[in-house]
Amino acid sequence: MRGPKILVFAGSIRTASFNAKLAALATKELALLNVEVTRISLADFPLPIYDGDTEAQSGPPQNAVKLKRLFGIHHGVFIASPEYNASVTPLLKNTLDWISRVREAPEPPLAAYKRRVFALGAASNGTYGGYRSLIALRHVLELGCGALVLPDQIAVREAATAFDGLDNLRDEASEPAADRARQSRRCGASVCVTERTRERHVAETTAANVKRWIMAKGYWLAQVDVSDAEAYKAYAAAIQDVLRKFGGRYVVRAGRSETMEGKARSRLVTIEFKDYETALGCYRSPEYGRVRKLREHCAQADVVVVEGYDGAQP
């Protein structure tokens, strides 16, 4: 199956930036999950401070256009955001602002922020781990740009000592108990964590949510003529456990319909799965094979398993 593509970058271009380290770690964790990751540095996309006169004279700079297109070819974006005075860095805000101004006809405004998932992390030497910059960044992305931002996020506190020699996050569980107690006193909230498990969790939820929200799903398209309604009820009840096991959900289930062209059977059902492979797997499973037998004598059906579409939209 085609994996999701995720773009990763930090809101800092400082040498030895903690957030660049966090971005590198997220890249590694995502790659281990079979995600196609692109890590960039904003140092390679310098932009002037946004000014409406500059834009009016010459439009958005080429680097803003390049970044917007990079967003566009990825299903998800992970941003490691440093905290400056309880907010995001001017570098990050300026970059996001410029990208929001790029509009390539005939697409709607803010296209770079739509139809993809954003995941956030922060690292700071302070005890809040840059948490407040995540609030500010969420505000900009969700309210300003209409983006979908995952609830899961990571804030790495005491960043100067949080990374080990291999730039992995130290595992708190391996630290002496007294140290752990001291740390949790300093940062009681679950938002400030340094465990690698947490980072892995964020990578996993990012990848899973990108798949869930953005990537092409798989469908059963079924048309059924029922000859024995009572017997069909037994089939409809038995299939529920199978669908639950494979994560299938009804998108269409015998709703009102009018056949406009060609021929259709009387009962139309569409069931959605997280991807095409799962839709096929469910149909071919021994569990469904057993349930299907219940339908054979009480209904006639046409069933197609089809891959969904995640390309450009009108």
Ligand X SMILES: Cc1cc2nc3c(=O)[nH]c(=O)nc-3n(C[C@H](O)[C@H](O)[C@H](O)COP(=O)(O)O)c2cc1C
Binding site for ligand X (CB under 6 A): 10, 12, 14, 17-19, 82-86, 124-126, 128, 130
Give 12 or 209: the residue with its C-beta nearer to ligand X. 12
Give 124 or 183: the residue with its C-beta nearer to ligand X. 124
CB of 222 to ligand X, least distance (A): 52
CB of 124 to ligand X, least distance (A): 3
CB of 17 to ligand X, least distance (A): 3
CB of 261 to ligand X, least distance (A): 58
Give 57 or 85: the residue with its C-beta nearer to ligand X. 85
Give 19 or 100: the residue with its C-beta nearer to ligand X. 19
CB of 71 to ligand X, least distance (A): 21
Give 41 or 257: the residue with its C-beta nearer to ligand X. 41
Token code pair at residue 252: 């269409």
Distance of alpha carbon 304 from alpha carbon 124, whole angstroms? 52
Give 83 or 275: the residue with its C-beta nearer to ligand X. 83
DSSP states along the chain? -PPPEEEEEES---TT-HHHHHHHHHHHHHHHTT-EEEE--GGGS--PPP-HHHHHHH-S-HHHHHHHHHHHT-SEEEEE---BTTB--HHHHHHHHHHHT---TTSPTTGGGSSSEEEEEEE-SSTTTTHHHHHHHHIIIIIIT--EEEEEEEEE-SHHHHB-TTSPBP-GGGS-HHHHHHHHHHT-STTB---HHHHHHHHHHHHHHHHHHTS--EEEEEEEEES-HHHHHHHHHHHHHHHHHHT-EEEEES------SS---SEEEEEEESSHHHHHHHHHSHHHHHHHHHHHTTEEEEEEEEE---S---
CB of 94 to ligand X, least distance (A): 14
Give 126 or 144: the residue with its C-beta nearer to ligand X. 126
CB of 10 to ligand X, least distance (A): 6
